[in-house]
Structure 1
Amino acid sequence: MPSGSRYWTVIDNELRVEPVADRFLRELRFGRDRAESTSKAYANGVALFFRWCQRTGRDWRTAATDMGLFMVWLKYVPAGDGPVVTGPGAKPVRSDGRINRVLVAVRRFLSFAVVNKEAPQWVLGQIYELADSRDLPLEAQSEDGGLFYRMRARHHLREPETPVDRASDDEIVALFTACLSARDRLIVLLLARAGLRRSETAGLRRGDLHLLPNNRSMGCEVEGAHVHVIRRDNVNGAWAKSRHARTVPVDFLLVQAFDQYQIERQQCAAAVGSDFLLVNLFRAPLGSPVTPDAINDLFKALCARAGLTRSVAPHMCRHAFASNLADSGALLDEIQRLMGHASVSSSQPYLHPNASRLRAAVDRVPTPRLLIEGVIR
């Protein structure tokens, strides 16, 4: 866009923009202030829907009557091309979770089309059904901006309940030890000890870290060392997912890592003028802000250098932070606030206790003395 902001859209085989989809994605990105990555995910889902309609000769405005067939197509047709092959031995090409995410994008697009009179009203009845709002979580009641209160999706695959894919404490220590610079060690700790997303980490400014016991001298009333996570339009493509700023307390390890990084950063003259916290110190362009993709590349190199048996992604360190919070007894609302989740339900997967926590919970239940004496007898 002329302002420098970006969003993703959908084009046809002739490279022409699909007008209704484009309006929907612009509304999502700028009208609802959603992240660029969100517009990309939704554009991918809507593009698959348009491709299915084109391949099967359907009008997208009325294709909602065959959403079940669309789900089968998604499950068994790779890259949106080729015949649908089902039956014994057929291997799904998309997971149930991926299909559900596509369906969310398509439902919201079709809802937008109905509201803007680009699709008939009856389409809503094909993708939603009435439900008792008491049975729905808050985010389900307002899935489309509150327009379809007390309605729930008709088409949804049951996803298997799997544990959160977190980095173990040993893996985090191995990654930290494999770092070759103070900057890289700070990146690992921001992810694993503060729970920041990689894009939030890359978007930090120097003034976002307040590391004094009393920060009033910097115009901040929050006591103790902490970091502010704020959404901005950054030149390096970094973007805080939540539109609401949050404050995350940090421990002494992160404070020490920051001090060591400051000494390292001062040795790079090109970094002096940059307001970004994390900048290139060892390769051109020197002094330019680190990008989210560069953090991915860093973790690939650290995994290889540490000799880990599996690939640990930056987001797995964030999962480790939330899991450690849950294991230490943090309440659900505390986890939600520290992680920057819009909904409490996003924090619930971290509350699944392991066997040791279940044992500890039982052991904390007091046992009456008379019951003990009766059993011993």
Structure 2
Amino acid sequence: MDGLRGAGRSYNTERTYAGRIALYLSYCTQNGVDWTRPKLAQLIAMMRWLVDDPLPSRSRKPGAEPRYRDEGTANAIMGTVGEFLTWCSLQGWVPPTVVSQLVQPKFLRYTPPGFDPGEDGQYRTVQARRIKFRVAVPGYEWLSDDQINHLISFTTRARDRFLVSLLAVTGIRIGEALGLRREDMHFLPDSSSLGCKVEGPHIHVRRRRNSNGAYAKSRQPRWVPVEVETVALYADYRYERDTVPEAADCDMVFVNLFHAPLGEPMKYPSTYELFKRLAKRAGFRARPHMFRHSAITRWVRSGVPRDVAQDMAGHVSPQSMDPYTHTTDQDKRDAVELVAAKRKEARA
């Protein structure tokens, strides 16, 4: 994982890549493939195996419906395998010819926003992955304000209510939330006594190594303002937290209060289980990252300048904002009615 850490990848990325690389090495062992010199046909066979071979059943009931990976997941796994072999080639463990077979030239007929094709279009030809399923681009999920309020109404604990509300208001990533420390919560009208010049209640998001594996993706520290209601919810949570003596010495904001080990920082698996339970009660999907999409969409739709929204979101590139702005059904209906009204006015 040294290559990933050197590139500044998050703990979650390390864990995901470790599982995918282990899957590749296991496949090679079981099928007699030299992992350092796989042929193109063997890698294509692995890609097919990923979607054709059923996954181990999670149910103990006999006759349970088999589960399969989708083609998008297979693409992600093979992409990691390609990165792994490329890194191994740089270490001298894999021949360069193995890496060269993984890509092929591709001419970009349509370029993404911000792409510089060159004066003569010389940069339109790029190296693209050779081993990949053609899949439709997945849509990004987000939550409306009504859905967020509905979800909050199903929280039964002050900690969970504060976590959901904080994600919805600030748009921070779940890793950034779980990595918050009490010193990052500047909820006073004036934080000068804390050595902070920022006015009004806000949180600070900083990249650190944390014992629970939480990791801020953005390298640059930033602060994000919060609403007065968020401050009140934090006060409720602090009162709830103070009833658990084991939590007193932990500097992390979000800690285990209801299950062992009490007082320890919350980790990703238990947090995702929390959101699964809330989603089941609410009757719709509600993953932590959906709140980030919702917050950024709300900022942009409310007229917040894109550069301000980009700064609060912790995005380095303006193009990173594009997937986070969503159109509602009402937006589409309003657009059609606006055009119809103009046509009717023109005829009159």
Q: What TM-score bracket applies, with the shorter chain setting the length?
A: 0.7 to 0.9
In structure 1, the residue matched to 2:213 is 237
Structure 2 portions without partners, runs of 5+: 57-65, 118-124
Indicate whether 1:320 and 2:291 are aligned: no
> How far does residue 282 in structure 1 lie from its aligned partner after superposition?
4.5
Please tell me the residue identity of whatever aligns with 1:375.
Answer: R
Aligned-partner residue type, residue 97 of structure 1: G
1:34 pairs with 2:9: yes
Q: Which residue does the alignment assign to 2:61?
A: none
- Cα separation, 1, equivalents of 2:113 and 2:85: 22
Report the AA paired with residue 217 of structure 2. Answer: K
Aligned partner of residue 129 in structure 1, secondary structure: strand
- Shift in CA distance, 335/123, structure 1 to aligned 2, threshold 3 Å: farther
SS at match of 2:128: strand
CA distance in 1, matches of 2:23, 2:114: 28
Secondary structure of the corresponding residue to residue 9 of structure 2: coil
Q: Partners in 2 of 1:162 and 1:285 — Cα distance?
A: 38
CA distance in 1, matches of 2:219, 2:144: 30
Q: Hey, what's the Cα distance between the residues in 1 that align with 2:132 and 2:303? A: 33
Shift of 1:230: 1.6
Q: Are 2:51 and 2:69, in contact at CA under 8 Å, matched by a contact in 1? A: yes
1:208, distance to aligned residue in structure 2 (A): 0.7
Per the TM alignment, residue 264 of structure 1 is displaced from its structure 2 partner at its CA by: 3.5
Change (3 A) 1:78 1:47: farther
Query: What do the CA deviations read for 1:288-318 (whole angstroms, capped 9, x no partner)?
Result: 33333332333344345xx322453333333
For residues 173 and 373 of structure 1, the distance between their equivalents in structure 2, rounded to whole angstroms, comes to: 40
- Cα deviation 1:147-200 (Å, max 9, x = unaligned): xx9533223333323432233433322332222332221111112222233332
Q: For structure 1, which segment, 327-336 or 154-163, has the greater mean C-alpha deviation from structure 2 after superposition?
A: 327-336
Matched, 1:350 2:324: yes
Q: Do structure 1's residue 56 and structure 2's residue 31 form an aligned pair? A: yes
Provide the TM-score with structure 1 as the length reference: 0.73
After TM superposition, give the deviation of residue 126 of structure 1 in Å: 1.0
Q: Tell me what 2:90 maps to.
A: 115
Are the aligned partners of 2:154 and 2:282 in contact in 1 as well (CA < 8 Å)?
no
Does the C-alpha gap of structure 1 residues 53 and 343 become closer, same or farther in structure 2, counting only changes over 3 Å? Answer: farther
- When residues 103 and 246 of structure 1 are mapped into structure 2, their CA distance, relative to the original with a 3 A threshold, is farther
Q: Choose which of 265, 283, 306 in structure 2 pairs with 1:289.
A: 265
Tell me how far 1:358 sits from its aligned partner: 3.7
8 Å contact from structure 1 (residues 75, 92) kept in 2: no
Describe the SS at the equivalent of 2:204: strand
> Deviating runs (4+, > 6 A) in structure 1?
136-139, 362-365
Alignment of 1:261-300 (within 5 A): 261-300=237-276
2 CA distance for matches of 1:56 and 1:220?
A: 59
Q: Distance in 1 between matches of 2:189 and 2:252?
A: 23
Shift of the 272–253 alpha-carbon distance from structure 1 to 2, 3 Å rule, reads: same
Are residue 77 (structure 1) and residue 53 (structure 2) matched?
yes
For residues 257-306 of structure 1, the C-alpha deviation after alignment (integer angstroms, 9 at most, x for no partner) is 123323333444443333222234445544333333332333344345xx
Would the alpha carbon gap of residues 41 and 294 (structure 1) be closer, same or farther in structure 2, given more than 3 Å must change? Answer: closer
1:197 aligned residue? 173
1:211 equivalent among 151, 162, 187 = 187
Alignment of 1:7-22 (within 5 A): none
Selected match of 1:340 from 305, 314, 322: 314
Identity of matched residues, %: 35
Q: Secondary structure at the residue paired with 1:288?
A: coil
Residues 132 and 223 of structure 1: CA distance in aligned 2, closer, same or farther (over 3 Å): farther
Aligned to 1:21: none
Residues in 1 aligned to 2:238 and 2:230: alpha-carbon distance in whole angstroms: 12
Aligned residues: 328
In 2, Cα distance between the equivalents of 1:129 and 1:337?
36
**1:96–1:157 Cα contact (<8 Å) kept:** yes
Please give the alpha-carbon distance, in whole angstroms, between the structure 2 residues aligned to 1:118 and 1:27. Answer: 14
Specify the code of the residue in structure 1 equivalent to 2:212: N
Distance 2:87 2:236 in 1: 51
Partner AA of 1:234 in structure 2: N
Q: In the alignment, which residue of structure 2 is the partner of 1:22? A: none
The CA deviation at 1:71 is 2.0
